[in-house]
Chains A and B, each alone.
Chain A
Amino acid sequence: MGYRRRKAEETFFKVLMIGSTLIIAGSLLLIMGTIVVKGFPALNLAMITQTPKGGYYLGKEGGILNAIVGSLELAGGATLLALLLSLPIVLYINVYARRKSRLAVFTRFSLDVLWGIPSIVYGAFGFILMMMIGLRTSLLAGIITVALLELPIMARAMDEVVRLVPSSLRDASASLGATRLETAFHVVVRQCLPGIITAVLIAFGRGIGDAASVLLTAGYSDRIPGALTQPAATLPLAIFFQLGTPYPEVQARAYASAAILTFLILAISLLSRWFSRKFQKNTIK
């Protein structure tokens, strides 16, 4: 192949790569820009300090504190529940089960399939579950459903980092007379802590941003949920309901709500990055 042709090939793919990178960075900026520009006029202190007053959805005063608190409680609870289930799964398939164990292979396959199931299906499944155990639309029902939604994402993201722990590191712990459990908690978890934090964050972001799974399970309420058995408002649904009204000022509030949600996720993302850097210093490269 001639030099000229190889050079053209190089240029073509370089342009393609840079172009794709710019598109992704540009999309983020565009989305952020739209939310800020459209939502900024409606963004005020009342939005984040008050619950909806009468006639809020017609453009009268109030805020979406109910949805902010609801979302944080719901996604926080769901993430905690998902973590309590993910960590044992991941440690089992990586530290206890043999590398090619059928159970481990089947578990990974299940998680991959579950990852792909649309959230509305989780919502419907959660709804059926609620009916079976006699639970009404409530914070608890929402937490359980969103935890199921987050579980495969969290477990699989953790699995990818835990798998990379070299067997020689586990052998080093074992040869000091450690049991598998001690190796799992004191060595494997520590080594993977930055990755585990990232996995938790990804799952939290997915959970707090999902509307379909909470629609039927957590319900919606203008009050801040005071108990697990009360219905809870969430930001994605707040956006959905406000965007669906015919009033421009309420629609602007939807964008303002989206901005609040985005900033929440951004803040948590930065916080977890800081945490994971803090724990990275001990990681063996």
Chain B
Amino acid sequence: MNPQTHISIRNLSVSYGRQKVLKDVSLDIPDRKVTAIIGPSGCGKTTLLKTMNRLLDGQDGVTIEGEVLVDGENIYDPKIEVTRVRKKMGLLSQKPQVLPMSIFDNIAYGPRIHGVRDKTRLMAIAQRQLQASGLWEEVKDRLHEPASRLSVGQQQRLCLARGLAVEPEIILGDEPTSALDPQSSRIVEQRLVELKAEYTVIVVTHILRQARRIADYIAFLYLGELVEHGPAADVFAAPKDPRMKAYLTGEIS
């Protein structure tokens, strides 16, 4: 295995009932880079992302074949503790999903379930992560208000802070800016780029321009197949597959 690979997907196929949504995907995701998964809607981008922290497991009629290796360990090995796999990854969903509790408790939730009880330590974690996601100044005086009162853009940054609070290695984003206003989108996008200094960032996006702005590495899916992948510069400058070319020119979207 390539030493700089963080997640290695091996012959992964996923079906919902009889419908195959991912077909034999193999992909190495580089460590501490922004990887963008792009492709037209319904091509399996979100499914691919969700297989990485086993969120598809509990769903009806889903069958998963193949392997996903995180740090060289197959997360679909029955001996693996699923909560430990998920703790390694922070998730940003399409629509920010804050927990039904205060702003502070949203961030403290993760550390608390992993055993941090000390109030001052929790507060320090909250402050650090809120600063890291650029929300601290806006919420420092109302940490004990319900998180649902924040604007959607603030909620997404809170979700980012909450994800970072469990000290993950990987940030997964499922079209994390699609529900946000342009201003918040830009902040979230910028944070994701900054975070690659310490984390492996994987973002699903349907916005080609966003992929161009933030991605170091591209994976292009089309109808459940991994059509092309490689460093962003190469893929955008010289796409090899005709479908990739068509997507870049906007013929398929």
- Please report A residues at the B interface, Cβ cutoff 8 Å: 98-100, 166, 168-169, 171-179, 182, 186-187, 190-191, 281-285
Contact = CB atoms under 8 A, between A and B. Distances in A.
Contact of A283 (B55, B100, B102, B162): B100
Nearest to B54: A174
Contacts of B147: 282
Contact of A176 (B59, B87, B100): B87
> Considering the complex of A and B, which 4 residue pairs feature the smallest CB-CB distances, nearest first?
A177-B87, A175-B91, A176-B110, A172-B97
A282 B100 contact: yes
A100 B59 CA distance: 10
Contacts of A179: 83, 113
A100 B60 contact: yes
17 contacts: A98-B58, A100-B60, A169-B99, A171-B93, A174-B55, A175-B163, A175-B172, A176-B87, A176-B90, A176-B163, A178-B109, A179-B113, A187-B100, A281-B146, A282-B148, A284-B98, A284-B100
A99 B60 contact: yes
Interface string B89-124: 111010101111110000001100110000000000
Given A168-B95, A281-B146, A177 B83 contact: yes
Given A168-B97, A176-B163, A186-B109, A282 B60 contact: no
A173 B97 CA distance: 9
A175 B95 contact: no
Contact of A282 (B58, B146, B166): B146
B113 A182 contact: yes
B84 interface: yes
A172 B60 contact: no
A176 B109 contact: yes
The listed residue with most A CB atoms (<10 A of its CB), out of B60, B97, B98, is B97
Contacts of B59: 98-99
A175 B163 CA distance: 8
A179 B95 CA distance: 22
A175 B146 contact: no
Nearest to B149: A281
B86 A174 contact: yes
Contacts of B87: 176-177
B55 A175 contact: yes
A175 B53 contact: yes
Contacts of B84: 177
Contacts of A174: 55, 86
B86 A176 contact: yes
A72 B136 CA distance: 49
Contacts of A182: 113
Contact of B148 (A168, A178, A285): A285
A134 to B, nearest CB: 45
A172 B166 contact: no
Contacts of B7: none
A169 B55 CA distance: 12
B160 interface: no
A186 B90 CA distance: 19
B100 A191 contact: yes
A177 B110 contact: yes
Contacts of B110: 176-178
Given A177-B113, A178-B113, A283-B148, A171 B99 contact: no
B60 A176 contact: no
A187 B110 CA distance: 12
A171 B174 CA distance: 12
B232 interface: no
B125 interface: no
B215 interface: no
A20 to B, nearest CB: 35
Given A177-B87, A177-B110, A282 B102 contact: yes
B221 interface: no
B159 interface: yes
B99 A175 contact: no
Contacts of A175: 53, 55, 86, 89-91, 163, 172
Contact of A177 (B55, B100, B114, B159): B114
Contacts of B100: 169, 187, 190-191, 282-284
Interface in B139-176: 146-148, 159, 162-163, 166, 172
Interface string B199-229: 0000000000000000000000000000000
Contacts of A178: 83, 109-110, 113
